[in-house]
Amino acid sequence: MAANVNNPHGLRPVLRTQSGGAPQAEQFSKAVGYAYAIFKWDPVTELAGVLNGPASGITPGTTRFLGVSLNWAAASVASTHQVIVSPDAIFEAQGDGTGGANVAAAKMGYNANLNVASVAGGGVTRDNSGVQFVESTIATTSTFDVRLLQLLSDPTNAYGAYGRCEVKFNKHLRTAEITAT
């Protein structure tokens, strides 16, 4: 099989939760004063009642996430976002290629941070997020952003650099402070 393709796309919902049900989505408002775009499949959080995307308000390893935005909106424009908010929702995310040997069967169940700083202020396209998980951070550290559950089952996907995995948030605004299990 050929090497995995580098195609960042954020945290794409797989439309199920770890408990087997469908994830819940709710609407949130992005303030006109928020100076960054929020892209489809961007991880988001809520700070002081304001929806924040990866460009501002998200710090790898410390942020408690609200969920993943399902739509795009430009910077400095008031907008409404549908956000998947289920704490146990599962998403597909791609590794960033910084540690290809780390996306391996033996590392499933480990944790990784998201590369929010490298995509600050913009996604790959107008529609899709550029967020990926940082392969070089894959470790047992429970404070990292996401848990790698398993390799995404797809004939065009394999272990190695830019591997796509099913992930879930370790810290969520609607659960206890540390939820890594």
Give yes or no for residue 121 having a pLDDT over 50. no
Question: Would residue 179 count as lying in a domain?
Answer: no
Residue 117 confidence (pLDDT): 66
Pairing of β 43-47 and β 25-30:
unpaired
Q: Are 91 and 21 in contact (CB under 8 A)?
A: no
Question: Would residue 178 count as lying in a domain?
Answer: no
Q: SS3 string of 117-167?
A: HHHCCCCCCCCECCCCECHHHCECCCCCCEEEEEECCCCCCCCCCCCEEEE
Distance from C-alpha of 79 to C-alpha of 76, rounded to nearest angstrom: 9
Question: Would residue 119 count as lying in a domain?
Answer: yes
Among candidate residues 94, 114, 91, the one with its CA nearest the CA of residue 156: 94
Its domain, for residue 115, covers 12-169
Among candidate residues 163, 158, 173, the one with its CA nearest the CA of residue 134: 163
Distance from C-alpha of 17 to C-alpha of 11, rounded to nearest angstrom: 14
Least confident of 4-8, 56-60, 96-100, 151-155: 56-60
Distance from C-alpha of 138 to C-alpha of 75, rounded to nearest angstrom: 32
Question: Would residue 1 count as lying in a domain?
Answer: no
Question: Would residue 5 count as lying in a domain?
Answer: no
Question: Would residue 181 count as lying in a domain?
Answer: no
What are the tens digits of pLDDT across the range 151-166? 999 999 999 999 999 9
Question: Would residue 177 count as lying in a domain?
Answer: no
Question: Would residue 55 count as lying in a domain?
Answer: yes
Prediction pTM value? 0.91
pLDDT-based confidence at residue 20 (cuts at 50, 70, 90): very high
Q: How many domains does the chain have?
A: 1
